[in-house]
Structure 1
Amino acid sequence: MLTIATSTASAFGPVPPANPYLGPVGTATMHGDSEASDTTPLPGVGTGGVHADFHEQAAACPTILQGADGLPQALCTKITDRAPKVLLLDPSNGNTLASLDLTKGSLLGGVYAYLDNHDQMVTVDGSGNLLRIGHQRGSDGKWSLSIASKTDVTQAVTGHCGGGDCDAVSSVSPDYQGRVWFATDGAAAGFVNTDGTAHSIVLAPGENVANSIATGPQGMAVATDHALYLLNVDGGGNPQIVWRQAYDRGPARKPGQLSWGTGATPTFFGPGDGTEYLAITDNAATKENLLVYSTATGAPICSVPAIDGTENSPIGSGNSVFVASTYGYPYPALPPNAGTSQPASAPVSGGMTRIDVTGSGCTVVWTNTVPSSAVPRLSVADGKIYTFTRHSLLGSGSSALGSGSSALGSGSAGLGSGSAGVTDNYSFAVIDANTGKVDSEQFVGATTVNDTLEMVGTIAPGRIQYQGTTTGLYRITPK
């Protein structure tokens, strides 16, 4: 069922300002930009027929980026030992040109990275080094990947907990002055200066970070499993908390989440310069709320019931926020401190919603029942939301294999108690951001290797989309 509220739809965009220390807007970070808006200025694949070329990597590939040189790069986590590896891809077909193994760290250590303004991948490996990874072509025509520079950040990370392997960096993002901000699993946060020195603070004892960070002109935003923070630099050159807003973390982790708390990376958005607001979802029972705050002051703008539960970052564009449910999604592995979920399992409920910030607060514009199995991406160029969907042959969504099918039904996906998904179908879906209606839905695969596992798709120039799965990646192009 689709419900539409009577409200004026605002235009999508603008995208946030271009960070001078990042690669191209839309393709340099997992969430499109340093502000984690999950938007792109590029047009997507479109609603016509597609080629879906799958590339087996024996690794899950949640981060696929593309630099100004046009070469896609992926940060993947190998199935065998869960250690990260970096791939350089052929832009013409998605084949692997080169690969580089990195030191294993925490589970999220093989997930978050970005491309800098020199097309180098920036990440922190398991040894606690901030790496810049470059690529080059030899005289024989073969490509290779190598570590261009490394900076040890272990003291800034483990110094808060007595040293050893007590904590690890989970995500990194540059600010507008060239500092590389980071957050750790154990809720330390700080930055590496351009001179290589690292500074950090603990946000709050007993809190944890399970998602990425975002950086805007106003500072670095990070959500722990208790609160949303905005940080910046004090007069002495150290990180400081500008404001903190606690949220309802609920009684426990929900099925379809990886931690007990928000599943969202903070999203900067707004109708002016694209950064006036910050948004996350809470973990309230039974319905999670979209929370919107003033970036400048931390003052609450609104709290609106949105979805059953989510592990996805919201899309933010103009006055609009789009939230997709992941409630009940059966992950094959959880972080060690995830805790038990309540209930222990549940069918995938599905559903997306659009909520607009208005003069009187926030208004639900539409809801649908799309069972999204990826973090959706909004193209402000064509007004479409691009994602993948998951349906079960045994559930009510079984007939939703055709293009533009209305058989999304209740969106239950029939996954029951978190089955292995051997009867599940995965489709490339395009949704109209103005109405929430599914424009097209095209079948791409029906085995666990096709599981997109709520990972992010990246829209590259030329209407190409890359999408990671549990064992590799798709390269989606128009027919």
Structure 2
Amino acid sequence: MPRHRRALTSIALALTAAVVAVAGGPLATAAPGPAVPIQQQPGGELLRDFTGHPAVVRPMRVPRIPQHPYMARNGASNIHDDAYQTDAYAVSGPLGRDLQVTSTEYLAECASVTFDSRGRIVTVCVSPQGATLRLVDPDTLEEIAAYELPGRAPGTFSFSNFSGGGYFYLDHRDRAVVSTFDGHLLVVQDTGSSLELVRDHDVSRATGGSGIQSALPDWKGRLWFVTQSGVVGFVNRAGAVRSRHLSRGETIANSFAMDESGGVFIVSTHALYRFDVVDGRPHVTWRRTYDRGSSTKPGQVSQGSGTTPTLIGRADSRGGGSIAITDNADPRINVLVLRRGKAGPGRRPLCRQPVFPRGRSADENSLISVPGGLIAENNYGYAGPLPTGPSGRSADTAPGAVRIAVDYRRGGCHVAWRNDRLRIPTLVSKVSLANGLLYTYTHPSAAELPWKYAAVPGLAPEAWFLTAVDARTGKQVFSKLAGTGLGFNNNYAPVSLGPDGTAYVGTLGGLVRFADAP
């Protein structure tokens, strides 16, 4: 067997063995020590590892996003950066100046990356058998401490199941609040050198065995949670659990958002909701259905919106601010923007803009809030991380990213720019408002790879790149090879920017770091 196939197979076997394991207990955690790089598939040496040019800093206006009183600082608290789920950073990211790439291998996907008050990484790494909360040095990627979470039941693993730790948040006291596979919400303290359990909320009676998709606090400190089966609930300050079910058949596949007015905004496979607390219980303030299409499109994990709701404008602005999602319409999905105040979203959306080609449009990632609009990406065609043929490469996805200009006051929208070349299989892309760059993670087709010499598609490796795009124009600025092989597939994980401008991408192999040379 060729070396590149052996390297690929070793990772695939490690994942597959865990999927079919008879025992369902947590994985053993190695003692903290130096980072071991993720295995690479040979072939990367045939490619130029950097294309484009270093970026010129062009800052964009930074909106006033309220700081949530029970979450870590904006940009450091959760997978989508803040309580509004903007996916927009006020800090800079790498500019492509002699960009250095390092990685650490866990054979688990370290998707959500947060940063404690000392700038260290707090992340949950999810594997087919369970999940581990890790405290990691942001420079060396050395593990400082780990906390094993309860294992998942045998046979329940799926590459499109994000429950049990795929989403978590860091609170205002450097504590990780993470859901488990057995219906608990754990609060784990970062003590500086260890991770210690300080609180355990048992919500299993409310969840009924369904996976907890996400948990986040409201502005009063109640801990809200949603399950895949459509349960919406919270743990109040006294520790009591209050919950309700959505309508029959509605499920929840993503996280949610909240604002300072007490609104909690949830999208199901059928409708967009605003919840508030009334008489001590979760109450549906309004519900707006959307076009959920006729099927689960390739690249999506459910038949419905693939987006966590994005909030725009403070709650005391006109209409209570705005909220944005995509639908799942045929033959093209739409970006939708509505009012979000208690009075309701109104008869018509502020914006309904079709995006991406007919019959080849899907978005399983949150919309990115930029000044005057939103950025969406096309994930159509992602069929999972495993190879689709003897080449060892996963399937090519449909290309596309767009910026939608939105008039939030009067209504109306249009496409400001489109990039029809970027292939972004699943990344939660992010924008840096400090430098004006959109950061994404691309998987070019064999013919599109940056070959050093003549293209040799038959030898094309499974290659993944951190790619920076001018957020104003949609033009690609630079692209840096992250690595080759299954271990570098991000499988719905985001790119995250640290407080010092370093970028991180969680992958099936572990965690990859990108930093400009000192």
Do both share a fold (TM > 0.5)? yes
The corresponding residue for 1:372 is 424
Q: Structure 1 residue 384: deviation in Å?
A: 1.0
The corresponding residue for 1:440 is 478
Give CA-to-partner distance per residue, 1:447-472, whole Å, 9 cap, x none: 11111223111111111111100110
1:31 aligns with 2:76: no
State which of 140, 144, 155 in structure 1 corresponds to 2:205. Answer: 155
Structure number with the higher strand fraction is 1
Give CA-to-partner distance per residue, 1:313-344, whole Å, 9 cap, x none: 110133211001111123148xxxxxxxxxxx
Question: Residue 440 of structure 2 aligns to which amino acid in structure 1?
Answer: T
Q: In the aligned structure 1, how far is the partner of 2:181 from the partner of 2:206?
A: 14
Q: In the aligned structure 2, how far is the partner of 1:360 from the partner of 1:313?
A: 21
2:244 match: secondary structure? strand
1:174 aligns with 2:212: no
The corresponding residue for 2:368 is 315
Q: Is the 8 A contact 1:401 1:443 kept in 2?
A: no
State which of 278, 282, 285 in structure 1 corresponds to 2:327. Answer: 282
Q: In the aligned structure 2, how far is the partner of 1:400 from the partner of 1:292?
A: 41
Q: In the aligned structure 1, how far is the partner of 2:175 from the partner of 2:371?
A: 30
Question: Residue 477 of structure 1 aligns to which amino acid in structure 2?
Answer: A
Q: In the aligned structure 2, how far is the partner of 1:62 from the partner of 1:273?
A: 33
State which of 109, 128, 137 in structure 1 corresponds to 2:164. Answer: 109
The corresponding residue for 1:91 is 138
Q: In the aligned structure 2, how far is the partner of 1:233 from the partner of 1:288?
A: 32
Question: Residue 179 of structure 1 aligns to which amino acid in structure 2?
Answer: R
1:330 aligns with 2:379: no
The corresponding residue for 1:418 is none
Q: In the aligned structure 2, how far is the partner of 1:356 from the partner of 1:270?
A: 15
Q: Is the 8 A contact 2:363 2:379 kept in 1?
A: yes
Q: Structure 1 residue 66: deviation in Å?
A: 0.5
The corresponding residue for 1:339 is none
Q: Structure 1 residue 474: deviation in Å?
A: 0.7
Q: In the aligned structure 2, how far is the partner of 1:42 from the partner of 1:346?
A: 34
Q: Structure 1 residue 133: deviation in Å?
A: 0.8
Question: Residue 220 of structure 1 aligns to which amino acid in structure 2?
Answer: V
Q: In the aligned structure 2, how far is the partner of 1:65 from the partner of 1:96?
A: 15
Give CA-to-partner distance per residue, 1:40-73, whole Å, 9 cap, x none: 1111112323111111011011111112132211
**1:339-358 equivalences in 2 (<5 Å):** 347-358=396-407
Q: Which runs of 5+ in 1 are unaligned?
A: 1-9, 138-142, 159-164, 334-344, 408-413, 416-420
Q: Structure 1 residue 388: deviation in Å?
A: 1.2
Q: In the aligned structure 2, how far is the partner of 1:260 from the partner of 1:436?
A: 29
In structure 2, relative to structure 1, the CA distance for the partners of 1:435 and 1:102 (3 Å cut) is same
1:243 aligns with 2:295: no
May I ask how many residue pairs the two structures share in their alignment?
427
1:100 aligns with 2:150: no
Q: In the aligned structure 2, how far is the partner of 1:271 from the partner of 1:290?
A: 20
The corresponding residue for 1:411 is none
Q: Structure 1 residue 226: deviation in Å?
A: 0.8
Q: Is the 8 A contact 1:271 1:317 kept in 2?
A: no
After TM superposition, the structure 1 stretch with the greater mean CA deviation from structure 2, 378-387 or 115-124, is 378-387
Q: Is the 8 A contact 1:371 1:389 kept in 2?
A: yes
State which of 298, 306, 309 in structure 1 corresponds to 2:345. Answer: 298
In structure 2, relative to structure 1, the CA distance for the partners of 1:97 and 1:270 (3 Å cut) is same
The corresponding residue for 1:49 is 98
The corresponding residue for 1:263 is 306
In structure 2, relative to structure 1, the CA distance for the partners of 1:364 and 1:278 (3 Å cut) is same
Q: Is the 8 A contact 2:385 2:486 kept in 1?
A: no
1:183 aligns with 2:226: yes
Q: Is the 8 A contact 1:270 1:277 kept in 2?
A: yes
1:428 aligns with 2:466: yes
State which of 392, 401, 404 in structure 1 corresponds to 2:445. Answer: 392
Q: Structure 1 residue 289: deviation in Å?
A: 0.4
TM-score, structure 1 length as denominator?
A: 0.84
Q: In the aligned structure 2, how far is the partner of 1:251 from the partner of 1:269?
A: 29
The corresponding residue for 2:245 is 202
In structure 2, relative to structure 1, the CA distance for the partners of 1:457 and 1:439 (3 Å cut) is same
In structure 2, relative to structure 1, the CA distance for the partners of 1:217 and 1:271 (3 Å cut) is closer
Q: In the aligned structure 1, how far is the partner of 2:238 from the partner of 2:99?
A: 47
The corresponding residue for 2:489 is 451
Q: In the aligned structure 1, how far is the partner of 2:85 from the partner of 2:148?
A: 27
1:131 aligns with 2:169: no
Give CA-to-partner distance per residue, 1:218-256, whole Å, 9 cap, x none: 31111111111111111x111101111111111101111
2:443 match: secondary structure? strand
After TM superposition, the structure 1 stretch with the greater mean CA deviation from structure 2, 18-27 or 65-74, is 65-74
Q: In the aligned structure 2, how far is the partner of 1:57 from the partner of 1:256?
A: 25
The corresponding residue for 1:410 is none
Structure number with the higher helix fraction is 2
Q: Structure 1 residue 11: deviation in Å?
A: 5.5
Give CA-to-partner distance per residue, 1:263-311, whole Å, 9 cap, x none: 1111112389798111111111121100111011222211110231111
Give CA-to-partner distance per residue, 1:143-191, whole Å, 9 cap, x none: 3222111111122323xxxxxx2x2321011111111111111111121
Q: Structure 1 residue 400: deviation in Å?
A: 7.4
Q: In the aligned structure 1, how far is the partner of 2:235 from the partner of 2:452?
A: 48
Q: In the aligned structure 2, how far is the partner of 1:459 from the partner of 1:11?
A: 16
The corresponding residue for 2:516 is 478
Q: Is the 8 A contact 2:396 2:444 kept in 1?
A: no
Q: Is the 8 A contact 1:113 1:171 kept in 2?
A: yes
- Over the aligned positions, Cα root-mean-square deviation in angstroms equals 2.4
In structure 2, relative to structure 1, the CA distance for the partners of 1:301 and 1:104 (3 Å cut) is farther
Q: In the aligned structure 1, how far is the partner of 2:232 from the partner of 2:132?
A: 25
Q: In the aligned structure 2, how far is the partner of 1:154 from the partner of 1:330?
A: 32
Q: Is the 8 A contact 1:264 1:281 kept in 2?
A: yes
Question: Residue 330 of structure 2 aligns to which amino acid in structure 1?
Answer: A
Q: Once the two structures are aligned, what percentage of the paired residues are identical?
A: 32
In structure 2, relative to structure 1, the CA distance for the partners of 1:225 and 1:401 (3 Å cut) is farther
1:155 match: secondary structure? helix
Question: Residue 131 of structure 1 aligns to which amino acid in structure 2?
Answer: L
Q: Is the 8 A contact 2:65 2:314 kept in 1?
A: no
